[in-house]
Amino acid sequence: MDAQPAKSIDASRVSRLRSTIDRATGLLACLFLWIAMLLAAQALREAFAFVPGFVPWNGESPSSFLACVASAATLAVLAIVLMVTAGSASPRALAGRVVAGAGLRLPASRREMGRWAAVGLVAALALWAAAELVVNVPGLTAVPPGEDPRHIALAQMSTTGRVCYGLIAPAPLEELLFRGPLLALWLALIAARRRDRWVARRRVQWSLMATAVGISLAVFAAGHTVGGTVNVVHAAVNALIATGITLWQRSLFPALAAHGLYDAWAFA
């Protein structure tokens, strides 16, 4: 009499366990793909080591480029193997979710593309204005250009090389690393609202986002100590602007454009 209910309970437990394993596998595969994207962005920086006349100032080298490419490819393959093994989603669908979650989906229309371009340009001007204001704040220190290793290296490069490096190299890695997770969290919280879960409460969502943004800003600013406290404060302001437009537009492209344009101007 009790054999059938027991079998049903066992089948239900197996089904829940399988679902949990599939979710964990999917999350691990997403993590591998995200790290692979970061390594690919770092490889973009390292690729400048092959450009004639480029002076490495951030450790760029051909060997680092090859290591980044190999590591990115390995992690991407591992992610695909995980998803094929689990069988819960196709690698293409998984890659699509990771790309969309990181804010790298393509614009849905020309109007959206134009809006992103306009927001990126305005944000780049805001970054420039912030730089001009921060250097005049009393009490902040700045390293003289002759003692700053960045300025010393960049001064030996052509203007074209400096502009190209600023436009292409720093922004992808920094935006993916610092703004990408914030956007993914924001999109997840928006999705939770539709499902009416406990994290859908406004107080909970704002607390989570404020904490995540604060940590991201602090870590980003702490990574810009070269150049003095002026550079640290300016990095924090830049991170705040980039975070704001990323969450507003739900895309990383406006921040990428603003960051690249500002760095191209600053390095030139």
39 CB-contact burial (10 Å; exposed 0-12 / middle 13-18 / buried 19+)? buried
**154 and 85, same structural domain?**
no
Q: How much of the chain, in percent, has pLDDT values that exceed 90?
A: 48
Label residue 156 by pLDDT band (50, 70, 90).
Answer: confident
Domain stops at, among 70, 101, 132: 101
Identify the residue with better confidence: 150 or 238: 238
Q: Which of these, 84, 82, 71, lies nearest to 38 by C-alpha position?
A: 71
What pLDDT, on the 0 to 100 scale, is given for residue 91? 65
Label residue 80 by pLDDT band (50, 70, 90).
Answer: confident
Query: What pTM value is reported for the model?
Result: 0.87
Label residue 10 by pLDDT band (50, 70, 90).
Answer: low
Tens of pLDDT, residue by residue over 163-200, are 999 999 999 999 999 999 999 999 888 887 766 666 66
User: What is the rounded average pLDDT for all residues in the chain?
Assistant: 86
**153 and 90, same structural domain?**
no
**253 and 194, same structural domain?**
yes
Q: At CA 82, angle to CA 78 and CA 84, rounded to 5?
A: 115
Tens of pLDDT, residue by residue over 244-255, are 999 999 999 999
Question: Using an 8 Å Cβ cutoff, are 219 and 208 in contact?
Answer: no
Q: How far apart are CA 181 and CA 215, in angstroms?
A: 12
What pLDDT, on the 0 to 100 scale, is given for residue 196? 64
**163 and 65, same structural domain?**
no
Beta strands in 30-135 (DSSP E): none
Q: Domain of 72?
A: 1-101
Arithmetic mean of pLDDT, 146-157: 79
Question: Using an 8 Å Cβ cutoff, are 257 and 265 in contact?
Answer: no
- Name the token pair of 222: 């702490």
What's the total number of domains in the chain? 2
**162 and 94, same structural domain?**
no
**50 and 114, same structural domain?**
no
Q: How far apart are CA 84 and CA 90, in angstroms?
A: 7
| Residue carrying structure tokens 């909970």 | 204
User: Any residues with CB less than 8 A from the CB of 233 and at least 6 apart, and which?
Assistant: 134, 137, 140, 221
Tens of pLDDT, residue by residue over 195-254, are 666 666 778 888 999 999 999 999 999 988 888 899 999 999 999 999 999 999 999 999
Arithmetic mean of pLDDT, 19-38: 83
**146 and 13, same structural domain?**
no
**159 and 76, same structural domain?**
no
Tens of pLDDT, residue by residue over 37-75, are 999 999 999 999 999 988 888 888 999 999 999 999 999
**163 and 37, same structural domain?**
no
**77 and 116, same structural domain?**
no
| Residue carrying structure tokens 């404020």 | 210
Domain stops at, among 38, 70, 101: 101
Domain stops at, among 79, 101, 123: 101
Arithmetic mean of pLDDT, 11-37: 79
| Residue carrying structure tokens 């980039």 | 242
**134 and 55, same structural domain?**
no
**58 and 24, same structural domain?**
yes
